[in-house]
A and B are shown apart, each in its own frame.
Chain A
Amino acid sequence: MATLSLQHLDKIYDNNVQAVFDFNLDVKDGELIVLVGPSGCGKSTTLRMIAGLEDISAGKLLLDGKDITQTPAKDRDMAMVFQNYALYGHMTIYENMAFSLTLRKENPNVIHKKVLAAAEILGLTEQLNKKPAQLSGGQRQRVAMGRSIVRNPKVFLFDEPLSNLDAKLRGATRREILLLHKRLNATMLYVTHDQTEALTLADRIVCMSMGYVQQVGTPLELYDTPANLFVASFIGLPPMNFFHVTVSEDALVGPEMNVPLSEDEKKTLAAYKGKEIVLGVRPEDIVEGGAVSVKVFSNENLGMNTLVHGHLGNSNAAENKITCKLRGWCDYKAGDQVKVTFVKKHFFDKDTTNAIRGEK
Chain B
Amino acid sequence: MNMNDEQVIRRDRMRFTKNTLSSGLALLAILANVFYFVSIYKSDVGSYYYNILIGASVLYNLVFMLLVFLSSEGVKGYKISYAYVLLAAGALQIVRIFILPMRAHNTVVTLNQTEVIVMQTAQFIRVIVYLCVSAACCIVAGLVGIQKSRALSAHMAAMNEQAA
Contact = CB atoms under 8 A, between A and B. Distances in A.
A108 B13 contact: yes
A34 to B, nearest CB: 34
Pick from B3, B6, B9 the residue with the most CB of A within 10 Å.
Answer: B9
Interface string A81-98: 000000000001011000
B16 A109 contact: no
Interface in A90-147: 92, 94-95, 108-109, 112-113, 115-116, 128-129
Contacts, number: 24
A96 to B, nearest CB: 11
Nearest to A119: B16
A129 B18 CA distance: 10
Contacts of B15: 128-129
B162 interface: no
Contacts of A92: 16
B57 to A, nearest CB: 37
A36 B17 CA distance: 41
Given A109-B6, A113-B3, A128 B16 contact: yes
Nearest to B5: A109
A108 B17 CA distance: 11
Interface in B6-34: 6, 9-10, 12-13, 15-17
Nearest to B6: A109
A10 B33 CA distance: 63
Contacts of B13: 108-109, 112
B9 A129 contact: no
Contact of B9 (A94, A95, A113, A128): A113
B55 to A, nearest CB: 40
A129 B16 CA distance: 6
Nearest to A115: B16
A98 B159 CA distance: 22
B117 to A, nearest CB: 51
A82 B10 CA distance: 32
Nearest to B3: A113
A271 to B, nearest CB: 68
Contacts of B3: 113, 116
A107 to B, nearest CB: 9
A1 B13 CA distance: 29
B123 to A, nearest CB: 42
Nearest to B17: A94
A128 B12 CA distance: 13
B17 A109 contact: no
A128 B15 CA distance: 9
A142 to B, nearest CB: 17
Contacts of A108: 10, 13
8 contacts: A94-B17, A108-B13, A109-B6, A109-B9, A109-B10, A112-B12, A112-B16, A115-B16
Given A112-B13, A113-B9, A128-B15, 7 more contacts: A95-B17, A108-B13, A109-B10, A109-B13, A112-B12, A115-B16, A116-B3
Task: Name the 7 nearest CB pairs between A and B, nearest first.
Answer: A94-B16, A109-B9, A112-B13, A128-B16, A112-B9, A109-B6, A129-B16
